[in-house]
Amino acid sequence: MRRHNKRQGHRSPRSEITRLEEQLKREHDSVSREAIRQQIEHWRRTQNNSR
């Protein structure tokens, strides 16, 4: 039997940004919030550099 559930699918930058923004709304720890903001910034740069 083949197992494919461990494989991560391709994520679009737009869906990743919305997921992280939802996560940011729920987070209260300032360190975690800053890490999420940096991830959002990364995905925004990725979105702008799409080919």
| pLDDT tens per residue, range 16-40 | 999 999 999 999 999 999 999 999 9
- Of 1-10, 19-28, 40-49, which has the strongest mean pLDDT? 19-28
Phi, psi of 4 (to 5 degrees): -115, 5
- Whether residue 24 contacts residue 33, with contact meaning beta carbons closer than 8 Å, is answered with yes
In the chain, the percentage of residues whose pLDDT exceeds 90 is: 63
Output the average pLDDT for the chain.
Answer: 86
Entry pTM: 0.72
* Rounded-to-integer distance, Cα 18 and Cα 36, Å: 12
